[in-house]
Structure 1
Amino acid sequence: MPPETLPVDPDAEPPPSPRRARPSFRRTARRRQWDILAAIAVGGGIGSVARYGLAQAWPTPPGGFPWATFATNVSGSFLLGLLMVYVLDVWPPTRYARPFLGVGVLGGFTTFSTYTVELRGLLAAGHWSLTDAYALTSLIAGLGAVWTGIAAARRAARLPVRRGPSRRSRSASSAVPRPTSSKGRAR
Structure 2
Amino acid sequence: MPEVRLVGPNGEQVGIVRIEDALRLAREADLDLVEVAAQARPPVCKLMDFGKFKYESAQKARESRRNQQQTVIKEQKLRPKIDPHDYETKKGHVTRFLGQGHKVKVTIMFRGREQSRPELGFRLLQRLAEDVGDLAFVEASPKQDGRNMTMVLAPNKKIAKTPKQQAAAQAENEAAAEPTPTS
TM-score, length of structure 1 as denominator length: 0.33
Q: Which is richer in strand?
A: 2
Q: Which has the larger radius of gyration?
A: 2
Q: Structure 2-normalised TM-score?
A: 0.34
Decide which structure has greater helix share. Answer: 1
